Amino acid sequence: MNNPAEARPVPVRPPESPPPGIKLGDIYYILFRHKWKIVLSALLGVCAAAGIWVFHGGSYQSEAKLLVRYVRDSKAFDASLGAQGDVKSPDARGENIINSELEIITSRDLAVEVADLVGPERILARLGGGTNRFAAAGAILRGIELDVPRRSSVIRVVFNHPDPEIAQPVLRQLVKSYLQKHAEVHRAVGVFDDFLTRQTDSMRSRLTQTEQELQKLKLGANVASVEESKRLIGEQVAKIRQELMTAEAQLAERRTILGQLQPSTAATSTTVSNAEPAVVEQPLDPDKERHYRAVLTQLEGLRTREWEARLQFTPESREVRQIQDLIASADQSKKQLEMAEPRLLRLAFQPATPSASGPGRFESADLAAQETEVLAIESRIKVLKDYQERARAELAAINDVEQRIRDLERRRQQEERAFLLYSSSLEQARVDESLGASSLANINVLQDATPASMNQDKTRKAAMAALGIGLAGGLSLAFLLEFGLNSRIKRSVDIEQKLRLPLFLLIPDIARNGHAKAQREQRRLKTTPRKALADASTAPSPSGNGEATADPSSSKLPAPLEDPLRTYYEALRDRLIMYFEFKELHHKPKLVGVTGTHHGAGVSRVAAGLAESLSETGDGNVLLVDMNPQHGPSVYPFHKGKAGCGLTEALEQEQREPAQVQDNLYVVSLNDTQGNRVGIVPKKFASLMPKMKASDYDYIIFDMPPVSQTSVTSKVAGLLDMTFLVVESERTNTEQAKRCAALLAESRANVAAVMNRHHDYLPERLRTDI
């Protein structure tokens, strides 16, 4: 036995997570599993195709070709559609005009017209007979085939009919009727010349009246354009406002100077009247006086230039700004001179040559000049305000008539468009009337209707369609059964991906793998009790001495057949032993349960095969406990034909001899020695655990009932070392198996799966299971 210190627990290979989508192996499995369904469906398709080819027969066809160069629509007048009489050419892909022409060719009205002209009885002669014009039109529509070659304006028209004498006349009449129908569709229904003339005259009169009203309103408001007049008046108001602000500033300046001169003049007059001698002030420096007068002259000139520039340019223009900069420089020089010599303020508006009458006369002249300048500035401010009020009044008048002018202009535009529309429509109507309906379309017949020829394309297409439907139906049925209708576990990958359980063993279905005869013999041997075999082998000798003989050569019994599943049970035994070794489970006995998802899954046979293979190792005794009391005595092939003893007796060495069926193998059931059923509940089963551990069995195998909510399996499984869940391939429902695995997981049982009666449909080179 391995050293526990050196052993390492190796877990069972965990189940793989399900990959997304369908793999190539899944497709192979579906195809080979349902191959006979697919083959049968394909054969049905072949039969249907053969029947169509034989009984449907062929038809005769006639072909014609039409060239659509352009299409011209001469439509009746409609004021909402715009210009009339459009010339349209097919686009590069032929999806606009060409499609419209195809609809005309396949219209039912055209087919009824052709049926009336050719004769319904002739068209329906090979189609069951009759004189119904609508039935004949339907036959024509079914026989028409239209095709437009890529990047062309050619329409290929083909007509199919069983009668070769009918195909060409019908197609020829169809082309002729189509050309007439085309002219009717694209020709105007009626051209109303008088109506168009009256409407044109009415629109001309209304337009003239509107223009007169608009002109009168503009003359009354003295505007040519509302937007332009408003812009000019706005600019004038802005200039007047700027000049008014400048004048008001100058007025304030002059009034300040006048206020300073008045006290000085009054003081001079008082001095003269008193006739007192006055102190003669020092005369001004001539150079400073001349410089100051030059600055004043320069300021006056610059202000005049600024006034003139403001009338021509905006206040933000470059010319006005340059003048303003010069004015600011001159004014700064003037203020510097006045600060140096305050008496220069008297010369601000004094004439260049002073009077010789004395200082009093000089100051009086300064005061009069300032008063005159103030009056002049006040007059200019008054005039500017009058201009401002007048401009505002003009702007208000324009605003009053603006909405009326705009309404009249919009009405004039609408009436002008309507007038042009009626005029062009009247002109087009006159042109269309002169040209006639024959020139509305330019469609040429490239190829007239050809003589009828045999055509089997429809029959070939129908046969191929039947064959394809048969094959596709078989494949669809296979995939539908596999993924839609059949939700059963079929392969080992289903256990690992859907149940999330490790798979210990895959047992094939010997009845479907060439072992049917061997399986029937095994069933016959199972029904033959071992005791009967022993009695036959120890029958009295012919000598009559009453002694039993066991000469095998004299026995007439057939040799037992080898169980084809024996190899798989031994493989299950070896893997179970290795699992316990890897898990370092060296205690005795080891408790192993075998259960299933439903009755008939092969649980008892797997449990019996596992128990028998474990007993043949010779290492110790094996006890098989049948927890299905409804089983008969012949459920196991090595049973003696009767219930020897119960579980309690089998745990006692002195009382278990009746339970021995072969070397190292004991079989008991839940029935006691009197045949009464003994129930097993988890509590009672747990009470038997000390006796089981004290027994000399190496393995105790429990053949348990299927997992369900009421069975004891899910409750007892948690007390065992290993529980095998037997899943029967192609019979176990996936959801049922999931619920069984969930119940076992709730009891914290160590569960592994065994797939029974598995059939691998794939050939040897495509198989993935080992």
pLDDT tens, residue by residue, 134-163: 999 999 999 999 998 888 889 999 998 888
Distance between CA atoms of residues 147 and 154, nearest Å: 9
Q: What percent of the chain has pLDDT over 90?
A: 16
Distance in angstroms (rounded) separating the CA atoms of residues 661 and 505: 26
Give the residue-averaged pLDDT of 638-656.
67
> Rounded to an integer, what distance in angstroms lies between the CA atom of residue 342 and that of residue 102?
106
Q: Among residues 61, 150, 71, 149, which one has the least CA distance to residue 104?
A: 71
Residue owning tokens 């160069």: 69
**H helices of 481-624, where?**
492-494, 516-526, 530-537, 566-582, 603-615
Does 766 have pLDDT greater than 90? no
- Supply φ then ψ for residue 220, to 5 degrees: -65, -35
Please provide the distance, in angstroms rounded to a whole number, between the alpha carbons at the two ends of the chain.
Answer: 29
Q: Which two tokens stand for residue 722?
A: 């290993």
Among 83-92, 253-262, 441-450, 713-722, whose mean pLDDT is lowest? 83-92
| pLDDT in the model for residue 723 | 94
Structure tokens at 229: 């007049």
731 vs 490: CA distance, rounded Å: 8
**C-alpha atoms less than 13 angstroms from C-alpha of 570 in its C-beta half-sphere:** 7
Q: Which residues of 636-665 are buried (b: 16+ CB within 10 A; e: fewer)?
A: bbebbeebbbbbebbbeeeebebbbbeebb
Per-residue pLDDT, averaged over 105-123, amounts to 93
Contact 604, 625 (CB under 8 A): no
Q: Could you report the per-residue pLDDT of 287-329, keeping only the tens digit for each? A: 777 888 888 888 888 888 887 787 777 778 888 888 888 888 8
Q: Return the top range by mean pLDDT from 267-281, 387-401, 505-519, 565-579.
A: 565-579
Measured CA to CA, the distance from residue 478 to residue 541 in angstroms comes to: 64
Q: Token pair for residue 574?
A: 């070896």
Q: Of 617, 643, 645, 647, which Cα lies nearest the Cα of 632? A: 643
Q: Assess whether pLDDT exceeds 60 at residue 470.
A: yes
Interatomic CA distance for residues 518 and 496, integer angstroms: 31
Q: Which amino acid is at 266?
A: A
* 770 Cβ contact partners less than 8 Å away, ≥ 6 residues apart: none
Cα–Cα distance for residue pair 741/503, rounded to 1 Å: 13
Tell me the H-state helices in 436-565.
457-480, 492-494, 516-526, 530-537
**What is the rounded (10 degree) CA torsion for 438, 439, 443, 445?**
50
If you average pLDDT over residues 60-71, what whole number do you get? 84
| Alpha helices (runs of H) in 89-225, residue ranges in sequence order | 97-105, 108-118, 120-123, 133-143, 164-186, 193-221
Residue 721 DSSP SS3: coil
What token pair was written down for 753?
């799966």
Does residue 522 have a pLDDT over 70?
no
Return the half-sphere exposure (C-beta side, CA atoms, 13 A cut-off) of residue 196: 20
pLDDT beyond 90 at 108:
yes
pLDDT of residue 34: 83
Q: Is 500 left (phi over 0), alpha (psi -120 to 50) or beta?
A: left
Crossing angle for the helix pair 97-105 and 164-186, nearest 10 degrees? 130
Pair 169, 118: CB distance under 8 Å: yes
> If phi over 0 gives left and psi between -120 and 50 gives alpha, with beta otherwise, what is residue 618?
left
Exposed, middle or buried: residue 97 (CB in 10 Å: 0-12, 13-18, 19+)? middle
Q: Which residues contact 676 (CB under 8 A, 6 or more apart)?
A: none
Question: Which DSSP string do the residues of 280-349 spell out, in sequence order?
Answer: PPPPPPHHHHHHHHHHHHHHHHHHHHHHHHHHHS-TTSHHHHHHHHHHHHHHHHHHHHHHH-GGGGGGTT
CB 491 within 8 A of CB 728: no
Q: How confident is the model at residue 267 (pLDDT cuts 50, 70, 90)?
A: low
Range list of β-strands (E), 327-404:
none
Give 525's pLDDT tier (boundaries 50, 70, 90): very low
Contact present, 210 and 409 (Cβ < 8 Å): no
Q: What is the pLDDT of residues 680-730, one digit of tens each?
A: 556 677 777 888 888 889 999 999 999 988 888 888 888 899 999 999 988
> Which amino acid would we find at residue 680?
I
**Nearest to 636, CA basis, from 604, 591, 668, 614:** 604
Q: How confident is the model at residue 175 (pLDDT cuts 50, 70, 90)?
A: very high
Give me the mean pLDDT over the 118-129 stretch: 90
b/e burial code for range 689-710 (CB count within 10 A of at least 16 → b): eeebeebebbbbbbbbbbbbee
CA angle 754, 758, 764 (to 5 degrees): 120
Beta carbons within 10 angstroms of residue 44's beta carbon: 17
Highest mean pLDDT among 3-12, 574-583, 647-656: 574-583
Please give the Cα distance from 610 to 665 (Å, whole number).
11
User: What mean pLDDT comes out for the span 231-236?
Assistant: 81
Bridge partners of residue 227, in order along the sequence: none
Nearest to 579 by CA among 719, 722, 755: 722
pTM for the full predicted model: 0.47
Coil, helix or strand at residue 510? helix
DSSP string, 661-692: EETTEEEEESB-TTS-B----HHHHHHTHHHH
pLDDT greater than 70 at residue 278: no
Examine the pLDDT at 520 and tell me if it is beyond 50. yes
Q: What is the dihedral of CA 317, 318, 320, 321, to 10 degrees?
A: 110
Q: How is the beta sheet containing 660-662 ordered, strand by strand?
A: 503-508, 751-758, 722-728, 590-596, 697-703, 621-626, 665-669, 660-662
Instruction: Express each pLDDT in 246-263 by its tens digit.
Output: 888 878 877 777 776 666
Instruction: Flag whether pLDDT at 630 surpasses 70.
Output: no
- Residues belonging to the chain: 770
In this predicted structure, the answer to whether residue 513 has a pLDDT above a threshold of 50 is: yes
- Is pLDDT above 70 for 471? yes
Q: pLDDT band for position 173 (50/70/90)?
A: very high
Q: What is the pLDDT of residue 65?
A: 92
- Three-state DSSP class for residue 79: coil
At 39-55, the pLDDT tens digits run 999 899 899 888 877 77
3-class secondary structure per residue, 185-214:
HHCCCCCCHHHHHHHHHHHHHHHHHHHHHH
DSSP for 729-741 reads: TTTSBHHHHHHHH
The residues near 299 (Cβ < 8 Å, ≥ 6 apart) are 327, 330, 331, 334
How does the average pLDDT of the chain come out, rounded? 76
The C-alpha R_g of the chain, in whole angstroms, comes to 61
6 pLDDT higher than 90: no
